[in-house]
Amino acid sequence: MKKLKKYTGDKTYMFPSGGIASPWEVISQYPAVEVFTHVIETDENREVMYAIMNLSGMRSMYNIDPALTEDEAIAELERLINAPPPEPEYPDDPLAEALDRLADVLENMPGGDPVGVTAGDVLQALLGGYVSET
């Protein structure tokens, strides 16, 4: 699970590369942290600094209610970032339908073994169904 935390410059982290993300190193690489509110993406133990992002920019990207406090906005961002991705929907998607037909063809081939199936067999199956010559 990703954790978000307001960057305060009071702790030393580790960069994913293994480098030390001391407050001085962070300021030298990201000087805007001294002017704007930033959020860090870290691990459960809050040891690794995976990313540092401007809070205002993140609020805009994730459409966070501007009425929320910084702490409330960070909590909402964390919830959104850790939410499971939605199941993809393929309404009337010709590619998805073609892939489903291909999977059906390969699963239902005579003998049940797609070894030896030619590109022509697959194309014929996709265009009009598999016709067995046996």
Task: Per residue of the chain (134 residues), give pLDDT as tens.
Answer: 899 999 999 999 999 999 999 999 999 999 999 999 999 999 999 999 999 999 999 999 999 999 999 999 999 999 999 999 887 775 677 777 777 777 777 777 665 555 666 667 666 666 665 445 54
The pTM of this model reads 0.64
Res 46: pLDDT:
94
Res 56: pLDDT:
97
Buried residues in 64-100 as b, exposed as e (16+ CB within 10 A):
beeeeeeeebbebbbeeeeeeeeeeeeeeeeeeeeee
> Both tokens of residue 55?
């809070």
Question: Which residues, including other chains, have CB under 8 Å from residue 14's CB and lie 6 or more apart?
Answer: 20, 21, 47, 48, 49
> Both tokens of residue 49?
């600094």
Res 84: pLDDT:
92
